[in-house]
Structures are given as structure tokens and as C-alpha cells.
């Protein structure tokens, strides 16, 4: 798998590394990229813009790797429309709202009203989980990661993803 680094107009949070966590750009650069068709999908969320670089996804697929994107519901459904059946959507949920609230507060980057707005949006997005192929509850990181790996392995073995009648050994696209 290849993690696709999202482009965003928001400022880095404490501990985020430019180019690794996100590609941080200004509004003008983002708008230029959007106009030039540089994004597979893009959205404005909580007043900031986010986009998945089309070229990075295409290069990942062309090299036989699985592009891994971290996007909101709007972005995921846009990717499903753009890539159709080749996309696999996994909805990652917190174990409960109390945990989600604690995680948002623990970032210490948002005020109370922003946290409340994010919680409301999370409730709205969770209603769309049935549109996804899989749901993973992230209560404890290691088991959640293990489930994601299991989903990846299962997808590599899907009959529709086998090439020339041979099971995919992980070397080709999934």
C-alpha cells in the first residue's frame, strides 16, 4: 500500500510534519490545483479545503500498489463515483461519542464550539457508514490496524481482483 498525503489549506497541528502528515498549502495554491484538475476529489470541511492528489493515486495504481487515502464521507463517496468498483471504502469509527470527544479535546487545537460542530458532523457522517464496504471500530489501535490488514488481504483474494485466473499474490493492484 501507498499512503496518499492529502493537500490542505489548514494550518499544521502540533506534531504534524509537512509533506508527511499533510501537504499544507495556501488558499490560492489549492484553488489553482483544483482548477487544473489536480485532485481526484476535494472538499471544504470546517472552513478548510482538503484534496486527494490525482497524480499520486494514478502513480500508485500504475506501479501495482494500493493507494490508501484518509478522507471524509464526502471524499469517499466522490472516490467511489470516480473509481467505481476498484475502490474499497472502510469507515473507521470511534468506539463511542465520549471517546471521540476526548480525542478531539486532547488535540488541544479547537475551541469548544468547534468541537461541538465536529461532533455533530461526525454523527451525520456515521449515518452514511452503510454506504461503505467495511466498518472498523478504532477503540484500541493494534486490533483496528489488524482489521485493516485483514480487509486488505481479503480484498486481494476477491475473485474479481484475480488476474488471468490466478489469485493476486499481493504484487498487483487490489
Q: Which domain holds residue 22?
A: 1-86
Q: Please give the tally of structural domains in the chain.
A: 1
Instruction: With respect to residue 46, please indicate whether it lies within any of the assigned structural domains.
Output: yes
Q: Could you tell me if residue 131 is inside a domain?
A: no
- 50 inside domain: yes
Neighbours of 74 (CB within 10 A): 16
CATH of the domain at 47: 3.40.50.300
Residue 167 has pLDDT above 50, yes or no: no
SS3 46: coil
How much is the pTM?
0.78
pLDDT above 50 for 23:
yes
Answer yes or no: is 168 within a domain: no
pLDDT tens digits for range 95-124? 999 999 999 999 888 889 999 999 999 999
Structural domain includes residue 148: no
Q: Would residue 152 count as lying in a domain?
A: no
Per DSSP bridges, beta strands 39-45 and 134-137 are unpaired
In the sheet with 39-45, reading across from the earlier edge strand, the strands are 23-24, 7-8, 48-53, 39-45
Is residue 58 situated within a structural domain? yes
Amino acid at each position: 500500500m501507498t499512503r496518499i498525503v492529502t493537500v490542505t489549506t489548514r494550518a499544521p497541528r502540533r506534531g504534524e510534519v509537512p509533506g508527511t502528515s499533510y501537504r499544507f498549502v495556501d488558499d490560492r495554491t489549492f484553488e489553482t490545483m483544483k482548477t487544473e484538475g489536480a485532485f481526484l476529489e476535494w472538499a471544504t470541511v470546517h472552513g478548510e479545503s482538503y484534496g486527494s492528489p490525482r497524480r499520486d493515486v494514478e502513480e500508485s495504481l500504475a506501479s501495482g500498489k494500493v493507494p490508501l487515502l484518509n478522507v471524509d464521507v464526502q471524499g469517499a463517496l466522490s472516490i467511489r463515483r470516480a473509481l467505481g468498483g476498484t475502490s474499497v471504502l472502510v469507515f473507521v469509527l470511534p468506539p463511542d461519542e465520549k471517546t471521540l470527544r476526548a480525542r478531539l479535546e486532547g488535540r488541544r487545537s479547537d475551541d469548544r464550539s468547534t468541537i461541538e460542530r465536529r461532533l455533530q458532523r461526525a454523527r451525520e457522517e456515521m449515518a452514511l457508514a452503510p454506504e461503505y464496504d467495511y466498518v472498523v471500530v478504532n477503540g484500541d489501535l493494534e486490533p483496528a490496524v489488524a482489521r485493516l490488514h485483514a480487509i486488505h488481504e481479503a480484498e486481494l483474494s476477491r475473485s474479481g481482483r484475480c488476474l488471468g485466473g490466478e489469485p493476486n499474490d499481493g504484487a498487483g493492484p487490489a
